[in-house]
Chain A
Amino acid sequence: MAAFLAHELLTILPALWLAVAGMALLTAGVFISGNASHIVFWGAVASLVIAGILAIVSPVGEQPFNGLVSIDPFGRFMTVLVVAGAVLSLIMARGFMRRESMERFELPVLVVLATLGMYLMVQANDLMTLYVGLEMQSLALYVCAAFQQDKLRSTEAGLKYFVLGAVASGMLLYGCSLVYGFSGSTSFDGIVATLAAGDDSTGILVGAVFIAAGLAFKISAVPFHMWTPDVYEGAPTPVTAFFSAAPKVAAMALLVRVLIDPFAALVDHWQQIIFLLAVGSMALGALGAIGQRNIKRLMAYSSIGHAGFALVGLAAGSEAGVHGVAVYLAIYLVMGLGTWGCILAMRRDGTMVEEIDDLAGLSRSQPALALALAVFMFSMAGIPPLAGFFGKFYVFLAAIDAGLYTLTVIGVLMSVVGAFYYIRIVKLMYFDDPADAFDRPAGRDLVPVIAVTAVVTVGFFLFPDPLLDSARYAAATLVAGVSP
Chain B
Amino acid sequence: MSQWPLLSLAIFLPLIGAAFVLLTRGDNEEAVARNTRYVALWTSFVVLVVVLLIWAAFDTTTAEFQFVERAPWIPAFGIEFHLGIDGISLFLIVLTAFLVPVCILCSWDSIRTRVREYMIAFLVMESFIIGVFCALDFVLFYLFFEAMLIPMFLIIGIWGGPRRIYSAFKFFLYTLVGSVLLLVAVLTMYFETGTTSIPDLMTWGFEEELQRWLWLAMFASFAVKVPMWPFHTWLPDAHVEAPTAGSVILAGILLKMGAYGFLRFSLPMLPEASVYFAPLVYSLSIVAIIYTSLVALMQEDMKKLIAYSSVAHMGFVTIGLFSMNQQGIEGGLFQMLSHGVVSAALFLVVGVVYDRMHSRLIATYGGLVHRMPRYALVFMVFMLASVGLPGTSGFVGEFLVLVGAFQANTWVAFLATTGIVLGAAYMLWLYRRVVFGELVKAELKSISDCNRREMLFFVPLVAAVLIMGIWPESLLDAMHVSVVNLVEQTAGANEAASFAMRADR
Contact = CB atoms under 8 A, between A and B. Distances in A.
Interface string A391-430: 0010011001100010011001101100110011011001
B153 interface: yes
Given A384-B146, A469-B76, A412 B181 contact: yes
A416 to B, nearest CB: 5
A468 B147 CA distance: 21
B190 interface: yes
B146 A468 contact: no
A383 B146 contact: yes
Q: Which of A389, A393, A464 has the largest count of B CB atoms less than 10 A from its CB?
A: A393
Q: Which of A384, A393, A405, A416 has the largest count of B CB atoms less than 10 A from its CB?
A: A384
A413 B183 CA distance: 11
A400 B191 contact: yes
Q: Which of B150, B168, B177 has the largest count of A CB atoms less than 10 A from its CB?
A: B150
Contact of A465 (B76, B143, B146): B76
Nearest to B176: A416
Contact of A423 (B73, B143, B169): B169
A427 B157 contact: yes
Contacts of A415: 180
A397 B180 contact: no
B143 A384 contact: yes
A416 B75 contact: no
A378 interface: yes
Given A413-B177, A423-B172, A464-B74, A431 B184 contact: no
B168 A427 contact: yes
A416 B173 contact: yes
B189 to A, nearest CB: 10
Contacts of A472: 76
A378 B75 contact: no
Contacts of B188: 400, 405
Interface string B59-78: 00000000000000111110
B187 interface: yes
A409 B147 contact: no
B158 A384 contact: no
Contacts of A405: 184, 188
Interface in B147-198: 147, 149-150, 153-154, 157-158, 164-165, 168-169, 172-173, 176-177, 180-181, 183-184, 187-188, 190-191
Given A397-B191, A400-B191, A430-B157, A383 B150 contact: yes
B143 A385 contact: yes
A364 to B, nearest CB: 8
Given A384-B143, A431-B157, A468 B150 contact: no
Given A384-B143, A431-B158, A409 B181 contact: yes
Interface in A420-470: 420, 423-424, 426-427, 430-431, 461, 464-465, 468-469
A464 B143 CA distance: 14
Given A431-B164, A464-B74, A400 B184 contact: yes
A385 B147 contact: yes
Nearest to B183: A412
A427 B169 contact: yes
B343 to A, nearest CB: 26
Contacts of A464: 73-74
Interface string A376-388: 0010000111000
B149 to A, nearest CB: 6
Nearest to A392: B183
Contacts of B73: 464
Contacts of A401: 191
Nearest to B181: A412
B173 A419 contact: yes
Given A397-B190, A423-B172, A465 B75 contact: yes
Contact of B74 (A423, A427, A468): A468
Interface residues of B, number: 33
Contacts of A409: 181, 184
Contacts of B74: 464-465, 468
Contacts of A416: 173, 176-177, 180
B180 A413 contact: yes
B142 interface: yes
Contact of B169 (A393, A400, A420): A420
Contacts of B177: 413, 416
A472 B74 CA distance: 12
Interface in B70-94: 73-77
Contacts of A363: 117
B239 to A, nearest CB: 18
A480 B314 CA distance: 53
Contacts of B190: 397
Nearest to A378: B150
A431 B165 contact: yes
Contacts of B154: 426, 430
A412 B168 contact: no
A396 B150 contact: no
A412 B180 contact: yes
A352 B214 CA distance: 49
Given A401-B191, A423-B172, A430 B158 contact: yes
Nearest to B75: A465
Contacts of B146: 383-384, 389
Interface string B29-70: 000000000000000000000000000000000000000000
B183 A396 contact: yes
Nearest to B128: A385
B9 to A, nearest CB: 18
Contacts of B168: 427, 431
A47 B139 CA distance: 41
A468 B73 CA distance: 12
A397 B177 CA distance: 18
Nearest to A402: B191
Contacts of B173: 416, 419-420
Interface string B121-154: 0000000000000000001001100110110011
Contact of A419 (B75, B157, B176): B176
A437 B172 CA distance: 28
B149 A408 contact: no
A314 to B, nearest CB: 17
Contacts of A383: 146-147, 149-150, 176
Contacts of A378: 150
A29 B60 CA distance: 78
A419 B177 CA distance: 10
Contacts of A389: 143, 146
B442 to A, nearest CB: 34
Nearest to B178: A416
Nearest to A464: B74
Contacts of A427: 157, 165, 168-169
Given A464-B74, A468-B76, A396 B187 contact: yes
Contacts of A426: 153-154
Contact of A461 (B117, B143, B172, B184): B143
5 contacts: A397-B190, A416-B180, A423-B172, A427-B169, A431-B165
Interface of B: 73-77, 117, 139, 142-143, 146-147, 149-150, 153-154, 157-158, 164-165, 168-169, 172-173, 176-177, 180-181, 183-184, 187-188, 190-191
Given A389-B146, A400-B191, 6 more contacts: A383-B147, A383-B176, A397-B187, A405-B188, A419-B172, A420-B169
